Chains A and B, each alone.
Chain A
């Protein structure tokens, strides 16, 4: 079944570089180990045995922003936390993407008050929003799939 059976008569494959690079980026994404509130528990659930996010090449959570290329903002962002989130985003090397997980990170959710930033997109650019309070692990995985689809269509120029 594997590609090695074809090796004898298929020594060279021509393909667009952009597609290969994007394929590589989608399948070895390193999310940052970064949880804020309730959604972080569901994010851990998505990585645990039942939902197993490593099927999508992202079992490796990096605790350091400098080694990660995906930031999942899991939870509410308070006014005190917002500068920290921005700083973490700035510390991530290019290319980098952001998923706003849950209602609070997307739009403030139920907390329309003095303490909570009404959506993390006020601080950092967001690629995919995942709705739910908190989103089920399936919803998060769907968000990741959506992000993969987006990355597949990206041009290499974007990260120059």
Chain B
């Protein structure tokens, strides 16, 4: 079948500036539509980390202007959560930031618990910290693998995913699912961790430091990697604060801020750890930040494993936590609680809460409003990827297109969280 050959009239050069604006969206100010080339990068592009579309204005190979076009993965998560009970809405949070579902669960569940005004047991608290930090490591592994892949270092990707599989096995062990765990529940956890959990995590703590050293050996002195990352995508500390960056993207610019230390939650104030800060603010600094962060996460996990208390993982309030299965055969009250919980859930009081935690990408916040019903009246997430992406034009301007790819990798965005 003969395809129509592309005609000169198909290119945007033949269009007027107004038509180009209409075609590309009005979000970007086109500086010079006559001389510059306009490039649409994505939504299907190997290094946009999902379905991000970038509108790029190029002068030769130099990026003059760039504007992200998002929404290709808009899922209606927040609206869908309003239609579900508090417990059932949890499954939506897994699917937002799918690289670290545990931290997403944690932000939402802690907001629910704040709204209900309940405290969870010490054992559940420590298990949550362990899993959230494992989640940070596994998320950073995907980031490192894909970031290196974008910069043409393929073997790092294979190594990273090998170690990530081990972590996914731990997830599967505790939650029965590799990625969409929904393990943290209002009032505690889905169930206690199995006996194999502790040896598995300890084994990970033993072998993983050597693996981090392996990754660094592959990249730290790799001249190609250094040339593509050093002094690329620089953002100063003041600019980073002004644009609301958070997480390693902020700490790579020399701003010493980590919610785990500065606004402690889930008992993080009881752990001893350092917050890695790098001064330069380029792609390499953000890379260094995350690599050091993985080591700090291991430190936190080790302390948490040593102090893992015995005891129940769920609170005793069966209006919120379903009664144990064995109780159902013995107690009428347990049957009633079970039935009420799984048919209509629990009722949260009027009012709103905002809970902030530190996800691998930065500050994830959950705004939750209850209106005396069994469903949230409104849920909103402050996604760190969304805010970090907004600073992309600033970092990529007046650099080459190839540097744009490095910058996208370095801010570690997850489109599921941006578009929700």
Residues of A that sit less than 8 Å from B by CB: 32-38, 40-42, 44-45, 48-50, 63, 65, 75-76, 78-81, 84, 88, 110-111, 113-116, 133-134, 136
Contact = CB atoms under 8 A, between A and B. Distances in A.
Interface stretch (B29-37, B155-163, B310-318): B155-163
A75 B217 CA distance: 34
A113 B79 CA distance: 9
Interface string B139-181: 0001001100000000001110110110010000000001110
B178 A116 contact: no
Given A37-B415, A38-B180, A63-B45, A84 B72 contact: yes
Contacts of A78: 71-75, 419
Contacts of A50: 161-162, 165
B179 A49 contact: no
7 contacts: A38-B179, A44-B142, A48-B157, A79-B74, A111-B95, A113-B79, A113-B80
B76 interface: yes
Interface string B175-213: 000111000000000000000000000000000000000
A34 B179 contact: no
A38 B74 CA distance: 13
Nearest to B83: A113
Given A34-B44, A48-B161, A63-B46, A111 B74 contact: no
Nearest to B416: A37
Contacts of B72: 78, 80-81, 84
A136 B178 contact: yes
A40 B72 CA distance: 15
Contact of A48 (B73, B98, B162): B162
Given A42-B178, A116-B75, A136-B178, 6 more contacts: A32-B44, A37-B415, A38-B179, A49-B159, A50-B162, A81-B73
Contacts of B165: 45, 48, 50
Contacts, number: 96
Nearest to B53: A84
Interface SS majority for chain A: loop
A80 B95 CA distance: 18
Interface in B88-126: 91-92, 95, 98-99
Contact of A110 (B71, B91, B415): B91
Interface in B35-54: 43-46, 50-51
A49 B158 contact: yes
Interface in B392-414: none
A33 B46 contact: yes
A65 B51 CA distance: 15
Contacts of A48: 145, 157-158, 161-162, 165
Nearest to B415: A37
A35 B74 contact: no
Interface in B259-292: none
Nearest to B146: A44
A65 to B, nearest CB: 8
A84 B44 contact: yes
Contacts of A110: 91-92, 95
